[in-house]
Structures are given as C-alpha cells and as structure tokens.
Amino acid sequence: MHAHSTSSTEYNQKTSNYTSPSPSPEHILFINAVVAKAKKVIITRYQNSAMIRKNNVAILAQEKIKNDTIHLENLQKNYDKAVIRVNHFTTLLQIEYTLTGTFDQIKEQYKNNIYMQKIRKRILRRHQRDCKKAFNALNKFKHKMNVAALAIQWKNHNKLYIENENIEREASAITADKRICSRKLMRLPHEILRYIQEYFTYDTKIALMETTYNPIKLLNNLRSHALLSFLKYMCIQPAFFAMLTDSEKENHLWTGYNNPNYKPVYESISGATHIKRQIISTIQLYKIVYPKEAYNLIKNLCFTIDPKKKYNGCYINARLTTIPV
C-alpha cells in the first residue's frame, strides 16, 4: 500500500513538471496564413453576397416598375370602359322617341318606353357606381406612384439621408434585408414582444403598429377640425421641412399679411375627405423618407385616439415664422 502511494507521488511530480513544447516559427506562420486565407474567403463571400443582394434589389425595382406600369394601364382601361358604358346609357336615356299608331298602340308603346327607361336608369346607376370605383382606384394608385417617385427623387438629391439610413440599418440588430412578417410577430407573447421590439427597425415597428391599431381607420374618428389640427402638427415638424424645397419652405413661413407666397398645405385644403387623403399621403412620404418620425407620428395617433369616441377638435390658427429645428 505504501509502495503504491510512493509511485503515484513520483508520477504526479513528473506530470507537474511537464510543459508542452512551443510551436515552431514555421508552424506559427502556417497558422497565420490559414487564418488570413479564411478571412479573405469570408470577405470575398460577403462582398459577393452584397453584390448579389444589390443586383436583386435592382432587378426587383425594375420588376416593380414594370408591374406598376401594367397595373396602371389596366386601371386606366377599366376606367375608360366604365366611362364608355356610362356615356352609352346616358345617350339612350336622352333619345326622343316618336310614337305612332292608334291610341291603344301609342299607349302601349309609351308604357313600354317608360319600362325600358326605368331599366336603363337602373343599369346606368350601376355603371356610374362602377365608374366611380374605377376612378377612385386609378387616382389612388396614381397618388401612390407619385409619392414613391417623390421619395426616390428626394433620396437621390439627399446623400446625407442615405448615409444615415445605411448607418441605421447596419447598427440595427435586424437589418432591412431580413423581412419580418408582422402577423407572425403578433403571435409572440406580449412580454417577449415588448422586450425585443427595441431591436427592430422602424419599418418593422410601423408594420406592427399598423397591424395592431390600424391607424388609417382611426382617422375616421376625427372630424374636420381635428383632422386639420393633426395635419398641421405633421406639417410643422422639422422632418417635414427637410423634405421641402426652399420655395416650398417660404410658402409655409408667415411674414405678414402682405405675403402672397404664404400657402401652407394645411390652409389650402378643406373637407374631411381631402384632409384625410393629405394626411395619409404625408404619412406615406414620412414612412419612406423618415421612418423614425413616421413611427412617432403613427404612435401618437394610435395612443391618442380612442376608437370608441369621436373627436371634434379645435383648430388653432398659429403660424410659423421660422423653420423648426
């Protein structure tokens, strides 16, 4: 028993004194070369994938323009056909008929004409409704294309915005290349969603807000004065002025009653429908150019309006004299 413990002690002393041999300089150079080659391969793959993504974005943009053009042509054709049908039945209703024959025959013809006119009026009303729907769909899509074109034009002339946008996307944990379905995110528990949403891009936050609260529908709870107040609030933000040209900025600044150029957006329109349309288009432009400000506006709208209440609002006639910062 004592001999066994002595041998184990000697073994432990030998192993404790053992040191692994240091790698040779040739081996270190080989390892560094392998690491450098691996880094080069990773960088090359990243550059290739970035180029592929860039090409895919360009291809998708071209396909979107092509599809939008085709869709616009189809909407225009539908509207033109609807107008032709309306004009045709309007002409039929304006035709004057000459009734001939005996009294009973004229009476029967008159009765038939009255019956036919009722049918034509009914058909005309249906075609007028279809024509109005086609006209609204055409104008809505044209407006959408104009807003997108305006945003693209603004980006092309504002390199600072593009640089900030790239920095924001690189700093975000979830980049813009990773498209997230807001409906799938809504299936997560509320506690988890509230914890991880700070890592989302503003585009994803906006999609979540729109899925949860439907802010466009909430605008129906605002009457004319309330809508006009919210539109004015949007139009006096620094981000809104950043999207304007110098001449447009002058139109929004009050310099006195003798200024004929003072024509701000919120004072040149009236009626709930027109104001609502202007709010929606302004929000869309914010979403494309300034996603962060768009998110704050939508959040303000969703958290302020109770969907069970109607708001009259109170329009305050205050005017800007300097550009907000």
Mean per-residue pLDDT for 44-63?
70
Distance (Å, whole) CA 301 – CA 234: 11
Among 19-28, 217-226, 287-296, which is the least confidently predicted range?
19-28
Q: Looking at the structure, tell me whether residues 153 and 218 fall in a common domain.
A: no
Strands, E, within 6-155: which ranges?
none
The kind and range of the H/E element at 62 are: helix 25-94
Q: Bin 28: left if φ > 0, else alpha if -120 < ψ < 50, else beta.
A: alpha
Whether residues 128 and 238 fall in one domain: no
* Percent share of the chain, pLDDT over 70: 68
Helix (DSSP H) and strand (DSSP E) numbers for the chain: 13, 0
Cα(318)–Cα(314) distance, rounded to whole angstroms? 12
Tell me which of 116, 141, 157 is where a domain ends. 157
Q: Which of 113, 136, 157 is the last residue of a domain?
A: 157
Give domain status of residue 170, yes or no: no
Mapped onto helix, strand or coil, the DSSP state of residue 242 is: helix
Predicted confidence (pLDDT) at residue 172 exceeds the cutoff of 60: no
* pLDDT of 102: 83
Q: Does any domain span residue 26?
A: no
Q: pLDDT tens, 275-321?
A: 888 888 888 888 888 888 889 889 888 888 888 888 887 766 677 78
d(CA 195, CA 175): 18
Interatomic CA distance for residues 239 and 288, integer angstroms: 12
The mean per-residue pLDDT over the stretch 41-70 comes to 74
Whether residue 171 lies inside any domain: the answer is no
pLDDT confidence of 27, banded at 50, 70, 90?
low
Mean pLDDT, all residues of the chain: 77
Report for 26-40, 170-184, 302-316: range of highest mean pLDDT:
302-316
pLDDT > 50? residue 178: no
**Residue 312 near residue 223 (C-beta atoms within 8 A):** yes
What is the pLDDT, as a whole number, of residue 50?
65
Q: Which amino acid, one-letter code, is at 266? A: Y
Tens-digit pLDDT profile for residues 68-125: 889 989 999 999 999 999 999 898 888 887 878 888 888 888 888 888 889 989 999 9
Residue with tokens 């009734």: 99
Residue 322 included in any domain: yes
- Which 8-state DSSP code applies to residue 199? G
In angstroms, the Cα distances linking 206 to 116, 129, 283 are 54, 34, 11
Q: How far apart are CA 321 and CA 304, in angstroms?
A: 28
Is residue 45 situated within a structural domain?
Answer: yes
Per-residue pLDDT for 5 more than 60? Answer: no
Is 205 contained in some domain?
no
- The answer to whether position 29 is within a domain reads no
Q: How far apart are CA 111 and CA 117, in angstroms?
A: 10
Domain that holds residue 317: 214-325
| One domain for residues 108 and 222 | no
Task: Answer yes or no: do 226 and 302 share one domain.
Answer: yes
Task: Give the count of domains, the chain.
Answer: 2
What confidence score (pLDDT) does residue 179 get?
47
305: Cβ–Cβ under 8 A, 6 or more apart, which residues? 218, 221, 222, 311
On whether residue 223 sits in a domain, the answer given is yes
Query: pTM here?
Result: 0.50
Number of CB atoms found within 10 A of residue 253's CB: 16
pLDDT of residue 193: 67
Mean of pLDDT values over 152-175 = 59
pLDDT digits (tens, 9 = 90+) for 227-286: 888 888 888 888 888 878 778 888 888 887 777 778 888 877 888 888 888 888 888 888
Residues 308 and 218 grouped into a single domain: yes
State the Cα–Cα distance between residues 111 and 96, nearest whole angstrom.
15
